[in-house]
Structure 1
Amino acid sequence: MASDKVTYSQFACIGTGFSGIALGCTIKRWYGISDIRFIEKNSDLGGTWFVNQYPGCACDVPSILYSFSFAPNPEWSKVLPSKDELWNYLSKVCDQYGLRDKMTFNSTVERCEWIEETARWRITVRDTASNTTFTHECQFLYGGSGLLVYPRKVDLPNIKSFHGPVFHASQWRHDVDLTDKNVVVLGNGCSASQIVPAIKEQVKHVTQFARSKHWIVPDVKVPHTKVFQWLFMHIPGVMALGRFAVFLFMENSARAFGMDKASAAYRRQVTAEAEQFIKEKAPEKYHGMLIPDFELGCKRRIFDPGYLESLHSDRVTLRDDPIQEVTPSGIRSKNGFTEADIIVLATGFETNTFCTGIDIVGRGGVTAEEHWKSMGGPGAYNSTNISGFPNFFLLLGPNTATGHTSTVMAIENGVNYSLRLIEPILQGKATAVDVKLDAEKAYTSQVQTALQDTVWLSGCNNWYNRSQDGTVRNATVYPYSQAYFWYRCLFPVFEDFEYDVAKNPPRRAIWRKAVKYLVYAAASLSSLGLMVSGTKNQWDWTRVMPFSRDRVGGFGSDLLARVKL
């Protein structure tokens, strides 16, 4: 049954993870706007840190960087925080900014349609508790459902014949008691490497089937955590400096992803160090199953949470022989039979998909799926905008993720970027903004070209890439440094966008224009020191430098807009 009532908010966001919360906080910080509605399919906020509840679940990015720049937390208990600590952090930030009562839980978005006459998005939402639908409209729509949402399907012969519980790591069954049970874990990526050491003392035996290999590096451990907490809490600026230092350290590792001689030499060095670490920590009998035959960087590295040492336990067995079938009592593989009471699928997520399950309809009745099909696969201008879908922004959209640093930085940059784009609309000068199709095509083509010269397409089988029509497309990873993404988000190229001008735009005082030109001159000079890129690129810098164009757009005009003169 559908409700006839139509609700409205100026902003609407699909999801309540880091992306949605960053948006809600930032519009309040920048503009004092609290007119936002979050639509969340789960029963609480947190996104991936609410969904993933498996034993040992933790972040693999230092907490000082895997957090909002505007909400520093000096009380992190460790460098790589647990899922519970991260969820508590997000909950605290939501309460601080009054976002919780803006969230509608247990609701799935089925359709989003752009209404040209009203310059609004019409959203069809299903309440999963009552199985009824309702309509919500908004001026600005954000897709913040995340990158890793839907578990990857695994085709195991006769899996339905198994008599015990079978579940994905991200759908952990807390009603299932592991005590004195024979547990089989399929996979050996980040999730599996956290689960195995976390459950080994509880179970009777855990057998892990490794489907591929990953480079495992030492965990990040900083001594005297209490000392750092005290410094962060009591000495102004120390935490900001610490965050910046961690950022620089992690940005430096981005040089492992290029294919030039310097990157290759660096990769050989860190690969040799990782190989030595695995040999020192893991049983010798497993070295052949663990040490990859590709260079470090092609897949996401794993910070060892105690996994390698857990392989010494009599309760843990690692196997890499192919699985032939599942029986009612276990798994038959090429080299024998493994008894099992419980099967855990730590097999990862579907990738290169965005807003899955949502029918997003833009101008002319074109859906996002149709648009991406015409483009050769998922992509977005600056990882955020798709042409024909005005006032719609993707957070952690195509080619946003990094293989070396925090995605929270990318989220914040994406949010800030989108708000700079819509500022003329907030000022009443326009009603909608849409990226030009040619600009989107040029950007996505450049990104895919740049990715060809990275280690991610060097031959290993990773979850970043997807084959389509005989070609490999990576719609996941950003090929440049995060410093460069920050740079592009800080200064949008406005000439790549089209604005629907409002009928009666407000005017500003003439004296403000004079002040603007003075600030413009200063911005032009200062911007010379802002170009930072982690790798080679072929961008047309004359299109983005503030002093290069005598038109709206570029660095100068955006900076002027931000200071609100």
Structure 2
Amino acid sequence: MSTTEKRRNAPIHHERQMRIICVGAGASGLLFAYKLQRSFNNFSLVVYEKNPALSGTWFENRYPGCACDVPSHNYTWSFEPKLDWSGVYATSQEIYTYFNDFAAKYALGQYCKTEHEVCGARWDESRAKWDVQIKDLRAGTIVEDSCDILINAGGILNAWRWPAIPGLKDYTGTLLHTANWDESVELTGKHVGLIGNGSSGIQVLPAIQPIVSKLTTFIREPTWIAPPTGQGQHIFSDEERHDFATKPNVLTQMRKDTETGMNSVFSVFLKDTQMQHDLRNSMTATMREKIHDAELEAKLIPQWGVGCRRLTPGVNYLETLHAENVKVVYGEINKITPNGCLCDDGNEYPVDVLICATGFDTSFKPRFPIYGFGGKNLQDEWAQEPKSYLGLAAAGMPNYLIFLGPNCPIGNGPVLSAIETQADHMLAMIDRWQTENIHSFSPKAEAIEDFCQYTDEFMKRTIWNEECRSWYKNNSATARISALWPGSTLHYIEALQEPRLQDWEVRYSGNRFAFLGNGYSQTELDPTADLGYYIREQDDGQFSSKSKKRQVLTKSGSKKSGGVAVWGQENVVAADAAPAPRL
């Protein structure tokens, strides 16, 4: 029986069985599994994870000092607080425990296959399915699977890379990478070299300084180092944690206040704003106070704006640069020798252990070949410049959705909130597929081109567009800004509230109105339902306009009206917010 015939014999919006494959059981993959399980029936899901355990980034990264630079109580899902974080900034082990506990609480492990790495996917147009190849890392064999919907939750900060420095393979000491840490290596009493002053390097240095005999840190460029939220590290007391667990609203209010703070600073990323000016002055003064060395100040304090690269709290980093056993070598490493690093100052610096805190491949190119319409491989399509639809889909890739794709708000504000928004948007599209006779859906190429054109114009007015080397620009100083959303995280949440079906190429199996079925509603076939549910004493239904829906959702009118930041043609200015109606 054809899809159309099946639907003619079923009520409207009959939910067909669907098979979904998700790549990656990190934060995004686990959230997707949770939300799918919570809201859908008639599905099968498998989440393939290359690691031997869940939680992705937070399972992989375990170097000394590894932590998150987002306040811990806000590095959680909006609906799933954690009562017992140790401090404002949590360690990687605590964060790993959070996501692992989340998976256990909702039995998400039933969907996950660890030590299974997806190595290829090809779209079959005739069957409207993805054929997926997976390597069973334990058995060393290739497993074949297929699905209706393919979700890529592999993330962007997981394909670690060695630095492109000649001679790396000639080094005879112990070589480590922060994202592939060997916990069996003993650093105590060793002379350690550290390459890099990004987030990982900034965390590693103060963590290992007390135990090594000498630490030589190699820095080639400046960076802003200070708490981006204005919060320093604070260890929560037993009393505070008790209050979080027992006193109504104490923790929720703190989370709201912190989130409000993070959502109130978007103008810092816009050129020539008062907030950018004030923060730059403040951070310059703070860094100078902690560095206390005119020569180092000139090298470490950037000339470009705050936020051009990702801000990093850097707890105790600048202070540790003054330790007696720490030497700062500023400039390029010309070559790795068997003994250490030969730098552009002409000196060779021998070290016993060389730690590379040199980051990841952030090109957005998929880690495995994905062949969509016409046999085109997304790896090839995105080899030079990745272009996505709203950070969650790609042209020519039917029934394929991406977490944290190109030009999503990965550095614009609270990232987990953005991931939740992406999951909800994906599931809205999946719901349409399941309840209609859709063959496939993929974003239109012209929609993506319009989105990218808008994004590129917007970025000219941001601090991200300044000439600083950043993974926002694929580790370049001048390339297209491919990682960030053209707006704030709240802007992204509003933009993705409802799918824009006009931007999608939707193909149907048979008559597109076959979903109307046999003339019966789902309600009539539910013996427990109220068949007169729409009869009421007053109009308490949902509002029709976006503005009224937003005002209800965001509790507009619940706070005192005040000045808000709005973007004019040439600058950001302060303006009085219009009074919001009370709803």
Question: So what's the TM-score if we normalise by structure 2?
Answer: 0.83
Map of 2:375 onto structure 1: 365
Query: C-alpha separation between the residues in 2 aligned to 1:360 and 1:419?
Result: 21
| Cα distance change, pair 269–525 in 1 and its aligned pair in 2 (3 A) | closer
Query: C-alpha separation between the residues in 1 aligned to 2:497 and 2:249?
Result: 23
Q: How does 1:280-359 map to 2 (within 5 A)?
A: 280-284=289-293, 286-333=296-343, 334-356=345-367, 358-359=368-369
Does residue 241 (structure 1) correspond to residue 277 (structure 2)? The answer is no
Map of 2:481 onto structure 1: 474
| Cα distance change, pair 26–365 in 1 and its aligned pair in 2 (3 A) | same
- 1:368-389: CA deviation from partner (whole Å, max 9, x where unpaired): 134446xx72121111121222
Q: How does 1:57-136 map to 2 (within 5 A)?
A: 57-136=66-145
Question: So what's the TM-score if we normalise by structure 1?
Answer: 0.86
Map of 1:526 onto structure 2: 548
Matched-pair identity in % = 26
Query: C-alpha separation between the residues in 2 aligned to 1:229 and 1:32?
Result: 38
> How far has the Cα of 1:529 moved from its partner?
4.0
Higher relative contact order (CA 8 A, sep 6+): 2
- Higher Cα radius of gyration: 2
Q: How does 1:38-49 map to 2 (within 5 A)?
A: 38-49=47-58
Counterpart amino acid of residue 255 in structure 2? R
Query: C-alpha separation between the residues in 1 aligned to 2:444 and 2:389?
Result: 9
Query: C-alpha separation between the residues in 1 aligned to 2:547 and 2:565?
Result: 22
Does residue 460 (structure 1) correspond to residue 471 (structure 2)? The answer is no
Q: Which of the residues 232, 242, 247 maps onto 1:230?
A: 242
Structure 1 stretch displaced more, 120-129 or 182-191: 120-129
> How far has the Cα of 1:257 moved from its partner?
0.9
Query: C-alpha separation between the residues in 2 aligned to 1:72 and 1:531?
Result: 20
| Cα distance change, pair 534–84 in 1 and its aligned pair in 2 (3 A) | farther
Structure 1 stretch displaced more, 210-219 or 230-239: 230-239
Counterpart amino acid of residue 338 in structure 1? Y
Query: C-alpha separation between the residues in 2 aligned to 1:169 and 1:267?
Result: 32
> How far has the Cα of 1:429 moved from its partner?
4.3
> How far has the Cα of 1:525 moved from its partner?
6.2
Contact 2:18–2:42 (8 Å) recurs in 1: no
| Cα distance change, pair 274–98 in 1 and its aligned pair in 2 (3 A) | same
What secondary structure does 2:233 align onto? coil
Q: Which of the residues 431, 443, 446 maps onto 1:438?
A: 446
What secondary structure does 1:267 align onto? helix
Map of 1:164 onto structure 2: 173
Query: C-alpha separation between the residues in 2 aligned to 1:471 and 1:311?
Result: 30
Q: How does 1:497-516 map to 2 (within 5 A)?
A: 497-503=504-510, 504-505=514-515, 506=517, 509=521
Structure 1 stretch displaced more, 503-512 or 146-155: 503-512
Contact 1:393–1:418 (8 Å) recurs in 2: yes
Contact 1:178–1:203 (8 Å) recurs in 2: yes
| Cα distance change, pair 303–463 in 1 and its aligned pair in 2 (3 A) | same
> How far has the Cα of 1:495 moved from its partner?
2.1
Structure 1 stretch displaced more, 69-78 or 494-503: 494-503
Q: Which of the residues 265, 268, 292 maps onto 1:253?
A: 265
Q: Which of the residues 405, 418, 428 maps onto 1:420?
A: 428
Counterpart amino acid of residue 347 in structure 2? G
> How far has the Cα of 1:290 moved from its partner?
1.8
Query: C-alpha separation between the residues in 2 aligned to 1:258 and 1:448?
Result: 14
Query: C-alpha separation between the residues in 1 aligned to 2:303 and 2:220?
Result: 14
Structure 1 stretch displaced more, 156-165 or 32-41: 32-41
Structure 1 stretch displaced more, 517-526 or 269-278: 517-526
List runs of 5+ in structure 1 lacking aligned partners.
1-7, 539-565
Contact 2:366–2:378 (8 Å) recurs in 1: no
Query: C-alpha separation between the residues in 1 aligned to 2:153 and 2:243?
Result: 34
Query: C-alpha separation between the residues in 1 aligned to 2:177 and 2:325?
Result: 22
> How far has the Cα of 1:232 moved from its partner?
2.9
Map of 2:418 onto structure 1: 410
Query: C-alpha separation between the residues in 2 aligned to 1:96 and 1:68?
Result: 14
| Cα distance change, pair 494–252 in 1 and its aligned pair in 2 (3 A) | same
What secondary structure does 2:479 align onto? strand
> How far has the Cα of 1:32 moved from its partner?
5.2
Contact 1:121–1:138 (8 Å) recurs in 2: yes
> How far has the Cα of 1:181 moved from its partner?
0.8
Q: How does 1:125-274 map to 2 (within 5 A)?
A: 125-218=134-227, 220-222=232-234, 225-259=237-271, 261=272, 263=273, 265-274=274-283
What secondary structure does 1:22 align onto? helix
Contact 2:409–2:489 (8 Å) recurs in 1: no
Contact 2:365–2:379 (8 Å) recurs in 1: no
| Cα distance change, pair 72–431 in 1 and its aligned pair in 2 (3 A) | farther
Map of 1:385 onto structure 2: 393
Counterpart amino acid of residue 549 in structure 2? S
Query: C-alpha separation between the residues in 1 aligned to 2:545 and 2:534?
Result: 14
Map of 2:408 onto structure 1: 400
